[in-house]
Amino acid sequence: MSLLHRAAGLGLAALIAGTVPALAQQKTLRIAMTAADVPTTTGMPNNGFEGMRFLGYPAFEGLVLWDLSDASRPAGLRPGLAERWEQDPADPKTWIFHLRRGVRFHDGTAFTADAVIWNLDRFFKSDSPQFEPAGSGITRARIPIMAGYRKIDDHTVAISTTRVASYFPYMAVYILMTSPQSWETAGRDWAKVAQLPASGTGPFRLSRFTPRVSAELTKNEGYWDKARVPKLDRVLLLPIPEANSRLAALRSGQVDWIEVPPPDAIPSLRQANFNVVTNSYPHVWPWMFQLGGQNTPFRDVRVRQGLNYCVDRAGLVQLLNGTAEPSIGWLKPSDPNFGRPEHRYGFDPARGKALLAAAGFTPQRPLQFKVMISASGSGQMLPLPMNEFLQQNLKEACGVNVTFEVTEWNTLLTAIRSGPDAPILNGSVAANPSSPSSDPSVAARYFLQAFVPPNGFNWPQWNDPQFEEAFAALENARDEASFGAAYARAHERLVDNPPWLYIVHDLNPRAMSRRVRGFVSAQSWFQDLVTVDLQ
C-alpha cells in the first residue's frame, strides 16, 4: 500500500472515529470513490465525471439537469435552474433560457439572470474579476461552441453558439452555478472558496472538506424542489483509488458504498449479503489513436481497423467477471443510431494480421507503440489489469508490441487536451481515457475537426469529411427521423474509419451495504443521491 493510501486509510479511520456520535443520530452515507483525491470544491469539480457525480450535481446545478429517475432507459434531460428553453426562431444559433423563480443559493442569496451571467463570465471571460482558470478549462472543453450570452431580463438569458447545434441543451448540463456572494465572502479568492464558502443551489450543500481525505455533503432543507429534499442527512465522500482498499473498507463496515468493486470479489460480496448493482449505460472504454504526431503508425486506416480485429473483447469481459460488454463502436450495437457500418469488429486475428501486413507491419517488422494509461480514475474501471490483458492479447494474437506510460488520472486528462508530440505524452501515440457516449454533444467534442485541442477532445486529430457532412445534418435537424438518420450515418464512419480502438462498454458496477435503500442505477455516468436512504 502506498503512502498516499496509508494516509487516506488513517484519515478515514480518524474521521470515522471522530464522528461516531453524529453517525448514531444522523443518516450518514459513506461512499468510497475511485478518485485519488477529493475532487475540487469550488463548484466545478475536477476528477472527470466522477467529480461531477459526487461533488458536482448534488450541490451545484445547471440550467438543464439530467433525468436520472428511470433505470430502464438511457438518461435524458429535465428542467433545472431553467424551467424551459427554446431555440430563437430568428436565429437557430441562439437558445433562450427561462429561469426558475424563487431559487436561492445555499448562502441565502437569490438565483437570477445576473448570477447566470456572472458564472458564464467565470468560465468564458478570461479578463473577468471572477475568472477561474481551472474551472474554465474544464467547462470550455465540454462546451467548445460557446459564442456569447446576454441577459434579457431578470429571469431570462440568451446563449449563442458558434454553430447550429440541435444538441446544445446536452452541453448546458455541464455549466454549474455557484453563488457570486460565496466568492465575495472568500475575499475574491477561489482557493478560499474551495475551503467552503462554496455555495450552490442543489439538494445537498458542501459542509466540510479535508484535502486528500474527505468531503462532506449535508441535506439542504430549503431546496427549491420540495419533492426532492434528500432522505439522507449527510454524505461522506472518501477517495480510495485502489480497488482492494475500497473492498476492505466495505467489508469492514468503514463505508456503505464503493465504486467499482474488484470483479473477482463480486460473487463473495453477494454471498456476504452485499448488494452489487450493475446496469448498461452510455460509456465506452477505448484507446484513442493519435493521427497527427510525427511518429504515429495510425495515419493508415488499415492499422486502426486491424487492431480492432485483434482484440479479444470476450476474454476481457470474462476477466471483468461480466461487469462489461464488448464494444465494436462508439455506440452499442443495440443503439438505434449504430447504423450499418461495413466493419463488424470481432476477435479475428487472421483478418487483423492481414490488415496490419497490408500496412507494412509483419513479424519481421512488428507494430509497436506506447499508450498513456492511468492507474485509476473516473470511469476507468480497472485500468492496470485490463491494459495488461490487452498488452498480452495483442502480442499473442497479432504480434503487436505495446508499452505503457502510467500516470495519474488528471494528468491523463491534461495530456488529451494537448497537441500531438507534447512533452507530457512522453512518446505515447495512444491514450486510454474512458468516455461517455450519452449524446451527440459528446460526439461533437471528440470527433469533429473543429474540436482538436485546445478547442475540445479530438485528441487524435481525426478528420473524416463524410462524418462532418452527416454531423452537420444532425446539428441542423428539426425532427427525430432526420436527426436519427444523420446520427447513424455519422456513426458508421466512426466504425469504418475508426479514430479509436473500441474495447468494452462498462456496466457501471458498485457494491453497497444492504442498509442502503432507494438507489436507482440510472443509465448514466451520474447518479441521484436524493432518493437514497439508510435503513
Q: Do 32 and 238 contact (CB within 8 A), yes or no?
A: yes
Q: Take residue 94 and report the three cell numbers written for it.
A: 441562439
Per-residue pLDDT tens, the chain, 535 aa: give them. 333 344 444 455 555 545 444 445 789 999 999 998 999 999 999 998 999 999 999 999 999 999 999 999 889 999 999 999 999 999 999 999 999 999 999 999 999 999 999 999 999 999 999 999 999 999 998 999 999 999 999 999 999 999 999 999 999 999 999 999 999 999 999 999 999 889 999 999 999 999 989 999 999 999 999 999 999 999 999 999 999 999 999 999 999 999 999 999 999 999 999 999 999 889 999 999 999 988 999 999 999 999 999 999 999 999 999 999 999 999 999 888 999 999 999 999 999 999 999 999 999 999 999 999 999 888 888 899 999 999 999 999 999 999 999 999 889 999 999 999 999 999 999 999 998 999 999 999 999 999 999 888 999 999 999 999 999 999 999 888 999 999 999 999 999 999 999 999 999 899 999 999 999 999 999 999 999 999 9
Q: How would you classify the pairing of strands 533-534 and 516-517?
A: antiparallel
List of domains in the chain: 1-58+202-272 (3.40.190.10), 60-189 (3.90.76.10), 283-506 (3.10.105.10)
Cα 438 → chain centroid: 10
3-state secondary structure of 87: strand
Q: Do 243 and 234 contact (CB within 8 A), yes or no?
A: no
Predicted TM-score of the model (pTM): 0.86
Give CA–CA dist 367/352, Å, rounded. Answer: 12
Q: Do 466 and 493 contact (CB within 8 A), yes or no?
A: yes
Q: Do 213 and 238 contact (CB within 8 A), yes or no?
A: yes
Give CA–CA dist 378/241, Å, rounded. Answer: 10
